[in-house]
Amino acid sequence: MPLFTSILATSVKGQGGNKAASPPEQEEEIKKDRKSRSTAARDHVRKRDLMCRATGDVVPKRDRGCDFVGFEFAHVFPFGNLEPAALGKVMKKHMESAKKYLTTKSAGDRAVNGLLLRADIHKCFDDYQFGIYPDPDDGEIRKVYTFEKVLPPFLETIKKVLLPPTNTPDPLKVKSEDDPLHDVFDWLLLEHFRTALLWHVAGLGQAAKVH
């Protein structure tokens, strides 16, 4: 996994030194809290998207509920890069949001930092084999680009643009970005895209074919 070339400006290194070990009961509560947060974020993304946002494959429905086997909650800004860091030019424009959502794992484990993707597509997304560019000149369109000269066969099924979520919050009732059904943030998609460009060397990305 490539390292982000930009790092959060609000580093907390050197603040307070090593923390004392927590009592067993407190450690257990922390584990439960982390698990509940992760499960909640996954469920919010599932409810919002109900399909692979890159390919359009719809989650099958059955009598006892939707079958999400083969569909995964993909973090746009991966937890492995959530170390207090300084973001580059793109993230500096959203520094307050970066502080709010990317300084801890629990803060980053939200629907606004995730997409529902097919499991195989998820692996390629995490490997930066493709990225999603929110084009400011095309309104709401988020273009998809691939960065490998030879694509895995299944990756050729991705669309030219990121598909909109199936369910979205009612704009007349919900105004907060903290709403569970709020769509993924463009600035996070742009940071992922920027990293993919830097990783694969600028100029090698190819626009995805239309399907």
What global pTM score does this model have? 0.73
Q: What's the pLDDT at 120?
A: 97
What is the model's pLDDT at position 105? 75
Q: What is the pLDDT of residue 172?
A: 56
Q: What is the pLDDT at residue 72?
A: 97
| pLDDT single digits (tens) 84-139 | 444 455 456 666 777 677 767 777 889 999 999 999 999 999 999 999 999 888 76
3 forms bridges with which residues in the sheet?
Answer: none
| E strand segments, 32-70 | 61-62, 65-66
Query: Radius of gyration over alpha carbons of the chain, in Å?
Result: 18
pLDDT of residue 93: 61
Say how far apart CA 79 and CA 104 lie, in whole Å: 9
Cα dihedral 136, 142, 146, 152, rounded to 10, equals 180
- Contact residues for 62 (Cβ-Cβ < 8 A; gap 6+): none
Using the structure block, give the residue that is written with the tokens 């086997």. Answer: 69
Cβ–Cβ < 8 Å for 77, 108: yes
Q: What is the pLDDT of residue 92?
A: 63
CB atoms within 10 A of CB 159: 17
How far is it, in rounded angstroms, from Cα 113 to Cα 106? 11
Give me the tens of pLDDT residue by residue for the chain, a chain 211 residues long: 443 333 223 222 333 333 444 455 544 543 444 454 579 999 999 999 999 999 999 999 999 999 999 999 999 988 655 554 444 554 566 667 776 777 677 778 899 999 999 999 999 999 999 999 998 887 679 999 998 888 899 898 999 999 999 997 665 555 567 777 889 999 899 889 988 988 886 654 454 544 4
In the chain, the amino acid numbered 195 is T
> Which tokens hold the place of 198?
């830097």
Name 118's Cβ contacts closer than 8 Å, sequence gap at least 6: 52, 54, 55, 57, 70, 71, 72, 154
Amino acid at 118: R
Secondary structure letter of residue 128 according to DSSP? T
pLDDT at 32 (0 to 100)? 47
Task: Say what the pLDDT of residue 175 is.
Answer: 56
